[in-house]
Amino acid sequence: MEMHQLRYFVAVAETGSFSRAAERCHVSQPSLSQQIMKLESRLGQRLFDRLGRRVVLTDAGRLLLDHATAILAEVEQVERQMRDATHTVQGKLAIGVIPTVAPYLLPSAIELFLRRYPEVEILLQEDVTHQLLAAAVAGEIDLAIVALPVADARLRVEPLFTEPLWLAMPRGHRLARRKRVRLEDLRAERFILLSEMHCLGEQVASFCRQREFEPKVACRSAQLPTVLSLIAAGQGISLIPEMAKEGDRSKRRVYRALADSTPARTIAVVRHRLRHQTPAMRQFIQLLKKKGGETRHPQP
């Protein structure tokens, strides 16, 4: 049962004539007759009674007509939709975000985006970098928002912005009194870090190691709010991304920049190098860039 056979069939049913149907379908009458006969033999049913000059549907033909018109209508609809889809921002958009970015950057970005493009359905996946990169490689998500570095030849990395990490400590901490805090001053401090799964945990640790001291780790937590709570409770200090600092409305913590060397992280969009880019993807990335540029320091 082929599509053109259904087209010919409907044409005959509607015109009541093989000749007129052939004309309408821009084929010769014998070609059309053959295709109808082929369809009939495939279905094991006569579809038309050839009553001399007139051609009428058999009962089987009437049954087929309903389905045939439905099928052709669906085909037409999907073809139209596909043509529209070329330039329309629509469809599903699967985004992966790391947990130390998700709650600060995404809600407002998604709200803005959906207001502008209500035809898009966003599927959000929050997970650690490793998982997100695997998902991007596997094609399970359209794009991942993670922190650099990302080293995978299969992925295309596009930096969005760089934000500083702030030294966070409890209100009344000895370092909080100083105007300028140097890295050296942190040697004696106990650090509260995220678990090794989270890139931010490792970033802070490796930042310290690069400056040649091994941070004393008081505790490794699974999520940033817990880290902040522990800091407020006086259990230690940490380096906190600016977007988290700005979201922090509590008076129990204070933030200081490091005077001598500024730790920072760069947030980037990552997608599969071979993945086709839909208008929705393009627009969303553009929005993220704009949003990053507004409040933070963009970086090439």
Q: What is the footprint of a second copy within residues 229-258 (CB under 8 A)?
A: none
Nearest residue to 97 via CA among 225, 268, 232 = 268
**Which range of residues in 2-10, 126-134, 171-179, 254-262 is near a second copy by CB under 8 A?**
2-10
Distance of alpha carbon 214 from alpha carbon 233, whole angstroms: 23
Binding status of residue 272 toward a second copy by CB under 8 A: yes
Residue 204: alpha-carbon gap to chain centroid:
27
Asked if residue 106 lies in contact with residue 98, where contact means CB atoms within 8 angstroms, the answer is no
- Chosen from a second copy, DNA, none, partner binding at 38 (C-beta under 5 to 8 Å by type): DNA
SS3 168: strand
Binding status of residue 54 toward DNA by CB under 7 A: yes
Pair of tokens at residue 226? 């817990």
Other beta carbons within 10 Å of 111 = 10
Question: Considering beta carbons, is residue 69 or 229 the nearer one to a second copy?
Answer: 69
Distance of alpha carbon 79 from alpha carbon 10, whole angstroms: 19
Query: DSSP of 10-36, one letter per residue?
Result: HHHHHHT-HHHHHHHHTS-HHHHHHHH
Residue 92, class by beta-carbon neighbours within 10 Å (0-12 exposed, 13-18 middle, 19+ buried)? Answer: exposed
Q: What is the footprint of DNA within residues 244-273 (CB under 7 A)?
A: 273
Q: Which of 15, 17, 34, 85 binds a second copy (CB under 8 A)?
A: 85
- Chosen from DNA, a second copy, none, partner binding at 79 (C-beta under 5 to 8 Å by type): a second copy
Q: Which of 14, 28, 75, 250 binds a second copy (CB under 8 A)?
A: 75
Binding status of residue 222 toward a second copy by CB under 8 A: no
Binding status of residue 58 toward a second copy by CB under 8 A: yes
Residue type, 241: P
Distance of alpha carbon 63 from alpha carbon 47, whole angstroms: 9
Question: Considering beta carbons, is residue 60 or 137 the nearer one to DNA?
Answer: 137
SS3 100: coil
Asked if residue 228 lies in contact with residue 193, where contact means CB atoms within 8 angstroms, the answer is no
**Which range of residues in 25-33, 56-64, 236-244, 289-297 is near DNA by CB under 7 A?**
25-33
Q: Which of 64, 106, 143, 186 binds a second copy (CB under 8 A)?
A: 64
CB-based contacts of 259, cutoff 8 Å, min separation 6: 180, 181, 182
- Chosen from a second copy, DNA, none, partner binding at 34 (C-beta under 5 to 8 Å by type): DNA
Sign of CA dihedral 293, 294, 296, 297: positive
Distance of alpha carbon 127 from alpha carbon 213, whole angstroms: 30
- Chosen from a second copy, DNA, none, partner binding at 267 (C-beta under 5 to 8 Å by type): none
Q: Which of 30, 107, 149, 225 binds DNA (CB under 7 A)?
A: 30
For 237, phi then psi, to 5°, come to -125, 175
Question: Considering beta carbons, is residue 174 or 273 the nearer one to DNA?
Answer: 273
Q: Which of 6, 10, 35, 191 binds DNA (CB under 7 A)?
A: 35
Residues that bind DNA (CB under 7 A): 2, 4, 17-19, 26-38, 50-55, 137, 153-154, 273-274
Residues that bind a second copy (CB under 8 A): 1-4, 43-46, 49-52, 54, 56, 58-60, 62-64, 67, 70-71, 74-75, 77-79, 81-83, 85-86, 91-93, 137-140, 142, 154, 272, 274-276, 278, 280
